[in-house]
């Protein structure tokens, strides 16, 4: 295909998308009193002009919008600035701006207009720049020029630079409003141990932040970086949710986390999924888990020994603090004695504190129906209700087998059989700003940013 033919085809596609977006705007504009959501509709010149015209009419009639959501709209910075200027001049109650996944280069000019818009009211606000490019440190600084009151800041997968993280650290040490901060999948920002320590110290000094997501920053798993992080952050007393999924902890990292951080940091929820944690690390985790922890996600790790199930069962029998537990897709057991399964059943029946239990994708050498049936019967004997999902597959024989799935969402118990080939999937990695491992059905998983990486999933099951 010649260059001109490609250009003509792109122009045709653009015109088609413009028509679709214009029709969508006509259909939804003004339907909701406070929310304008145009996500996944591409906003080019014609649709942008139409949107601005409608907004002017709306504001002229003394109406207001509090939420503007423009996810994956391919909007340009210039068109976005025009829209933000209009909101800044007319909106007095604006609360939420989401421009995720537009692959915008966030420059100081755009950041300044965001800051001006958010400065128009003292109400707490939220900002999502996920999936854009925030490597410019000055642009990050410019957002906070007008002393805005942000309560949620989402910078997930934004190609943050170490300099940008330094600016965030300086802001965070004095900020009194941000309670939810998402810096996931910005591994290059956490390469330098000194900057990691600066960031951790700023979190320690902050007395208001409650949720911190650092998942996907595999540079945090480097020994020096992890030690600096643990030493710096342990003075914090406001943090309740810490997400460290996919940071390459491995067994050594888990031991460092337990011995240097978790004994002093009173978080109630910990996410360490997809960290290549093996049996020694998992057993250390079960021994050192603090009583303050009520939610643990240890899914998508690598557990091959039945001793890990024994450690888990012993923990559940002896400790009554954990309320949510996810160990899905972590166990791959070539040997599984009936006594070990019986011990797990005893733990599930005796532990009355657990309210949510996810144990999907267990790979065993025995009959998966029998395994799931035993656990289901044990749960039935509990005094208190339990929301759970259990599934297992026999993947160590050449004979055709079935997967067993048991769940009781909304108090329903379902036992069903599905073909075994539905549990397999493959992962295809491509070059991207930040390497990421995505898996099927990871609980509480952040949205996949399709603009920078792609995965081939052959089959999956719900």
pLDDT at 453: 32
Distance CA 357, CA 322 (A): 10
Q: Which two tokens stand for residue 82?
A: 């025009």
Every domain of the chain and the residues it spans: 303-423
113: Cβ contacts below 8 Å, ≥ 6 apart? 81, 84, 85, 88
pLDDT at 77: 96
Q: Which residues in 309-441 belong to E strands, given as ranges?
A: 324-326, 356-364, 387-394, 402-407, 414-419
pTM of the predicted model as reported, rounded to 2 decimal places: 0.85
Distance CA 225, CA 186 (A): 14
141: number of CA atoms within 13 Å, CB side? 9
Low-confidence ranges of the chain (pLDDT < 50): 399-401, 409-462
152 beta partners: 126, 180
pLDDT at 153: 97
125 beta partners: 150
174: Cβ contacts below 8 Å, ≥ 6 apart? none
pLDDT at 402: 55
What SS3 class is residue 212? Answer: strand
What Rg value do the Cα atoms of the chain yield, rounded?
Answer: 25
Residues 330/302, Cβ–Cβ less than 8 Å: yes
What SS3 class is residue 403? Answer: strand
Residue 7 burial class via C-beta count within 10 angstroms: exposed 0-12, middle 13-18, buried 19 and up: exposed
Q: Which two tokens stand for residue 32?
A: 């909701």
Q: How far is CA 117 from CA 92, 103, 172, 266, in A?
A: 9, 21, 21, 36
Q: What angle do CA 29, 40, 436 make, to 5 degrees?
A: 150
- Mark 415-452 as b/e (b = at least 16 C-beta within 10 Å): eeeeebeebebeeeeeeebbebebbbbbbebbeebebb
Closest-CA residue to 348 (of 297, 388, 308): 388
Distance CA 257, CA 185 (A): 20
Distance CA 83, CA 458 (A): 41
Distance CA 158, CA 125 (A): 20
Distance CA 337, CA 305 (A): 11
């Amino acid at each position: 295909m010649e260059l001109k033919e490609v250009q003509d085809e792109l122009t045709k596609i653009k015109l088609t998308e413009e028509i679709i977006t214009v029709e969508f705007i006509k259909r939804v504009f003004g339907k909701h009193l406070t929310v304008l959501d145009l996500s996944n509709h591409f906003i080019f010149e014609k649709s942008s002009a139409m949107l601005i015209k409608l907004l002017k009419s709306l504001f002229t009639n003394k109406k207001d919008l509090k939420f503007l959501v423009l996810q994956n709209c391919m909007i340009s910075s210039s068109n976005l600035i025009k829209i933000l200027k209009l909101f800044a001049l007319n909106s007095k109650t604006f609360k939420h701006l989401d421009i995720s996944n537009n692959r915008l280069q966030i420059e100081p000019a755009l950041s300044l207009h965001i800051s001006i818009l958010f400065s128009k009211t003292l109400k707490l606000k939220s900002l999502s720049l996920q999936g854009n490019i925030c490597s410019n440190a000055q642009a990050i600084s410019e957002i906070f020029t007008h002393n805005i009151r942000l309560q949620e800041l989402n910078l997930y997968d934004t190609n943050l630079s170490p300099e940008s993280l330094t600016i965030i650290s300086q802001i965070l040490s004095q900020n009194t409003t941000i309670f939810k901060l998402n810096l996931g999948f910005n591994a290059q920002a956490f390469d330098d141990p000194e900057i990691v320590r600066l960031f951790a110290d700023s979190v320690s000094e902050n007395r208001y932040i409650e949720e911190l997501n650092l998942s996907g920053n595999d540079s945090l798993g480097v020994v020096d970086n992890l030690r600096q992080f643990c030493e710096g952050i342990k003075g914090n007393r406001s943090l309740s949710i810490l997400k460290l999924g996919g940071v390459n902890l491995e067994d050594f990292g888990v031991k460092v986390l337990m011995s240097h951080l978790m004994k002093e940091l009173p978080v109630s929820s910990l996410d360490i999924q997809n960290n290549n944690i093996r049996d020694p690390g998992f057993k250390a985790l079960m021994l050192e888990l603090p009583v303050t922890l009520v939610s643990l996600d240890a899914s998508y790790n690598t557990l091959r020994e039945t001793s890990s199930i024994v450690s888990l069962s012993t923990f559940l029998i002896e400790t009554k603090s954990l309320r949510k537990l996810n160990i899905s897709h972590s166990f791959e057991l070539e040997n599984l004695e009936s006594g070990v399964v019986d011990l797990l059943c005893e733990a599930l029946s005796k532990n009355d504190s657990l309210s949510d239990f996810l144990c999907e994708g267990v790979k065993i050498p025995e009959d998966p129906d029998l395994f799931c049936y035993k656990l289901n019967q044990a749960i039935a004997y509990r005094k208190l209700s339990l929301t759970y999902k259990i599934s297992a597959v026999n993947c160590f024989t050449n004979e055709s087998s079935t997967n067993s799935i048991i769940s009781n969402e909304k108090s329903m118990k379902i036992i069903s059989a599905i073909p075994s080939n539905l549990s397999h999937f493959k992962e295809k990695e491509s070059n991207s700003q930040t390497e990421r491992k995505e898996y099927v059905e990871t609980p509480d998983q952040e949205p996949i940013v399709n603009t920078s990486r792609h995965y081939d999933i052959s089959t999956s099951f719900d």
